[in-house]
C-alpha cells in the first residue's frame, strides 16, 4: 500500500483568482500523483486546506480533488474553520464536532485528529479530543497505528513557526498516547518544510507544503528586531509518500517538478539491475 500526503494547501490566499498560485501548485501535485509511477492508494491532506477558512476555499479544494483516482483523508489546521469544513466534508467528524476519525488500511490503521484552536496559530488538544483518541487507540491496541495531525508536538528549531514543547496541549496529547503499544508514528504538516525526527519512541514525519515553503533558517529570531531574513520561498510544491513494506511505513519526500532524467532502464542499465537483484537472498548469488 502507498499513502501520499499533502499539507498546507492554503486555498483562498488570493481570493477570487481562478488561477491562484496555491491552486496551481495543488493541481501540479495532484497531477503528479495521478499520472506518475507512484499513484497512491489514498491521499492524506494534513490541514490548512483553506487560507482563511472560507467556505469557497473548501469548495474549490473539493473541486480540485474530485477527479483524483484515489480517496482523500483531510484534517484541519490552524487556518481552517470547522463550520465551513463540515459544510463540504460533513462525514468527517466525531461526536463532539471535531474533525477526528479512523481509517482502517488492513494491516495498519490511521487515526486522524483535530489540533485546531480557532483564532490561534498554535495547536490545541482538549480533554474531549484526548478521551476520543485514547478510546480509538484502545480499540486495537496492538495493531500498527499512525496518527495524522496538523501541528507537530515538538520544537522543530524553526523558531517563528515551531511548537513550544511546554504547551499544555502537548502534555495532554502525550498522556492520551502513553499506553498505546501499537502506535508507530505521526504524520504532520504546519511547518511548510519536510523533516523527520524521533520523538518519545515514535517517528514523526512532517511533510513539505504544496503552497510555498518556509525558508530553512534555524537562527534565533527577535520579534522586536526585523533582520530582513527570507521567510517564505517559492520552492517547488512538496508532497510525501509513505510506503507500507509489510512491517512499517517508509517515508519519502518529493517535489512536483520536471527533473532532468540522467539514466533510464534500458539495455545499458539492465546488467546493473540484474546484478543488484541477484545479490538478494533467494536470487542468484547472495552473500553468505
| Element containing residue 170 per DSSP (H, E) | helix 168-177
As a whole number of angstroms, the distance between CA 167 and CA 174 comes to 11
What percentage of residues in the chain have a pLDDT greater than 70?
A: 98
Q: Which domains are assigned to the chain?
A: 2-262 (3.60.21.10)
pLDDT band at 49 (very low <50, low <70, confident <90, very high): very high
What angle, rounded to 10 degrees, do the helices at 21-35 and 55-65 form?
30
Chain segment 224-281, per-residue pLDDT in tens: 999 999 999 999 999 999 999 999 999 999 999 988 999 999 999 999 999 999 999 9
Tell me what pLDDT residue 256 has. 95
Chain segment 182-228, per-residue pLDDT in tens: 999 999 999 999 999 999 999 999 999 999 999 999 999 999 999 99
CB 254 within 8 A of CB 238: yes
pLDDT band at 16 (very low <50, low <70, confident <90, very high): confident
Chain segment 112-126, per-residue pLDDT in tens: 999 999 999 999 999
Tell me what pLDDT residue 93 has. 86
* Sign of torsion over alpha carbons 91, 95, 97, 102: negative
Q: How many CB atoms lie within 10 A of CB 202?
A: 16
Tell me what pLDDT residue 259 has. 86
pLDDT band at 284 (very low <50, low <70, confident <90, very high): low
pLDDT band at 283 (very low <50, low <70, confident <90, very high): confident
- Mean pLDDT over the full length of the chain: 95
Amino acid at each position: 500500500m502507498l499513502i501520499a500526503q499533502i499539507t498546507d494547501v492554503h486555498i483562498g490566499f488570493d481570493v477570487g483568482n481562478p488561477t491562484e498560485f496555491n491552486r496551481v501548485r495543488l493541481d501540479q501535485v495532484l497531477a503528479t500523483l495521478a499520472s506518475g509511477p507512484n499513484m497512491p492508494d489514498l491521499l492524506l491532506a494534513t490541514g490548512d486546506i483553506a487560507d482563511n477558512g472560507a467556505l469557497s476555499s473548501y469548495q474549490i479544494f473539493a473541486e480540485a480533488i474530485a477527479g483524483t483516482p484515489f480517496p482523500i483523508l483531510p484534517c484541519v489546521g490552524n487556518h481552517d474553520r470547522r463550520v465551513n469544513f463540515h459544510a463540504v466534508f460533513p462525514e468527517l467528524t466525531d461526536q463532539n464536532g471535531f474533525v477526528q476519525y479512523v481509517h482502517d488500511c488492513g494491516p495498519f490503521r490511521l487515526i486522524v485528529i483535530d489540533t485546531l484552536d480557532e483564532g490561534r496559530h498554535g495547536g490545541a488538544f482538549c480533554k474531549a479530543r484526548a478521551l476520543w483518541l485514547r478510546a480509538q487507540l484502545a480499540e486495537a491496541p496492538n495493531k500498527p497505528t499512525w496518527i495524522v495531525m496538523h501541528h507537530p508536538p515538538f520544537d522543530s528549531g524553526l523558531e517563528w513557526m515551531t511548537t513550544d514543547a511546554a504547551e499544555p496541549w502537548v502534555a495532554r496529547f502525550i498522556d492520551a498516547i502513553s499506553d498505546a503499544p501499537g502506535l508507530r508514528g505521526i504524520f504532520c504538516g504546519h511547518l511548510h518544510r519536510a523533516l523527520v525526527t524521533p520523538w518519545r519512541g515514535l517517528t514523526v514525519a512532517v511533510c513539505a507544503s504544496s503552497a510555498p515553503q518556509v525558508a530553512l533558517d534555524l537562527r534565533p529570531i527577535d520579534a522586536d528586531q526585523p533582520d530582513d531574513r527570507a521567510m517564505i520561498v517559492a520552492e517547488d510544491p512538496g508532497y510525501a509518500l509513505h510506503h507500507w513494506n509489510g512491517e512499517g511505513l517508509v517515508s519519502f519526500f518529493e517535489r512536483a517538478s520536471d527533473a532532468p532524467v540522467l539514466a533510464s532502464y534500458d539495455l545499458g542499465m539492465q546488467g546493473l539491475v540484474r546484478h543488484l537483484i541477484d545479490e538478494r537472498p533467494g536470487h542468484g548469488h547472495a552473500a553468505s
